[in-house]
């Protein structure tokens, strides 16, 4: 029933939806979103979505609004009231006060002929045939429709504002989501040890270097330019192939032309490269200079994988 209600919403979109998007986009103030009961919870979620996608918004509970919180509405704000019936006592009390203050009012209601639907400057129709609740009482289908309508508003505004991934990162600096948008290869590599050997390094010293640096690999450098990589896997293959290793050096077993990535590249891109190539390490470089190693365990620890 909720799936069908969402599908039906598209048929209810009209010029008022376009005007609402344009009103918010052109306005210099915030979007104040209010409701009562379950609609208030949906209002709070829409506020959070708008704030995170570049449209400043605040939540105002309809019951609290008529007891002082009406003062939170400022000049140039747009007010959206959400109510399934559009006729609840709190909404009826609040609408005249908002209109008296001269604030643009958008009603989101399942009944465009209600008090809210007829008194609002613009009306977003979220009509549903029936609640998913067997008794047709608990707000279920109706709140789903409200949620989707709010998301539609937020995404239209996001696109109008050309709100990109860099903007998104500013508002989501914490957690795995934020890290995917700002954490770079250099950020990770610079926190790791920096294993390195020369092409003529004795193989036993190579093994010690890999073991002590604890990244499962070492870069092979000529001056500070990468010429190869040796991993734990290369060591195992060497031991399987050679019974005598005393004369071997790094250049005898290294993999030439290893996968490298610039320090400014996003770490999530490093993950994609590792997965595409079936490898566990990448060498971080700054131009042609070697900086360090990024291991897939680093990406797991950062929450990117």
Report how far Cα 51 is from the mean position of its chain's Cα atoms.
Answer: 12
CA gap 205, 250 in Å, rounded: 9
Distance from C-alpha of 41 to C-alpha of 49, rounded to nearest angstrom: 13
Does 172 count as an annotated binding residue? no
Nearest to 294 by CA among 185, 211, 206: 185
Whether 185 and 284 have beta carbons less than 8 Å apart is answered as yes
Q: Which residues pair with 220 in a beta bridge?
A: 197, 228
- Cα 36 to Cα 88: distance, rounded to the nearest angstrom: 8
Q: What share of the chain is helix, strand, coil (3-state, %, to 5)?
A: 50, 20, 30
- As beta bridge partners, residue 218 has 230
Q: What residues are designated binding site for Zn(2+)? A: 61
Q: What residues are designated binding site? A: 61
């Amino acid at each position: 029933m909720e799936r069908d209600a969402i599908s039906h919403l598209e048929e209810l979109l009209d010029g008022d939806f376009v005007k609402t998007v344009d009103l918010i986009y052109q306005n210099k103030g915030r979007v104040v979103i209010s409701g009562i009961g379950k609609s208030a919870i949906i209002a709070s979620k829409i506020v959070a979505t708008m704030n995170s996608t570049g449209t400043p918004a605040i939540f105002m509970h309809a019951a609290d609004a008529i007891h002082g919180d009406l003062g939170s509405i400022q000049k140039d704000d747009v007010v959206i009231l959400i109510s399934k019936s559009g006729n609840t006592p709190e909404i009826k009390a609040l609408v005249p006060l908002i209109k008296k203050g001269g604030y643009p009012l958008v009603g989101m209601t399942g009944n465009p002929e209600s008090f809210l639907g007829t008194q609002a400057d613009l009306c977003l129709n979220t009509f549903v045939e029936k609640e998913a609740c067997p008794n047709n009482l608990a707000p279920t289908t109706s709140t789903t429709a409200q949620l989707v309508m709010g998301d539609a508003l937020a995404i239209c505004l996001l696109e109008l504002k050309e709100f990109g991934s860099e903007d998104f990162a500013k508002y989501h600096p914490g957690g795995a989501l934020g890290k995917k948008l700002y954490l770079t290869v250099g950020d990770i590599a610079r926190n790791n040890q920096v294993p390195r050997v020369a092409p003529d390094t004795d193989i036993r010293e190579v093994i010690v270097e890999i073991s002590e640096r604890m990244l499962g690999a070492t870069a092979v450098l000529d001056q500070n330019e990468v010429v190869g990589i040796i991993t734990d896997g290369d060591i195992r293959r060497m031991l399987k192939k050679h019974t005598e290793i005393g004369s071997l050096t790094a250049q005898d077993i290294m993999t030439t032309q290893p996968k490298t990535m610039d320090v400014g590249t996003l770490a999530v891109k490093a993950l994609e490269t590792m997965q595409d190539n079936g490898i566990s390490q990448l060498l971080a470089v700054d131009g042609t200079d070697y900086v360090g190693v990024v291991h897939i365990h680093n990406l797991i620890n950062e929450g990117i994988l």
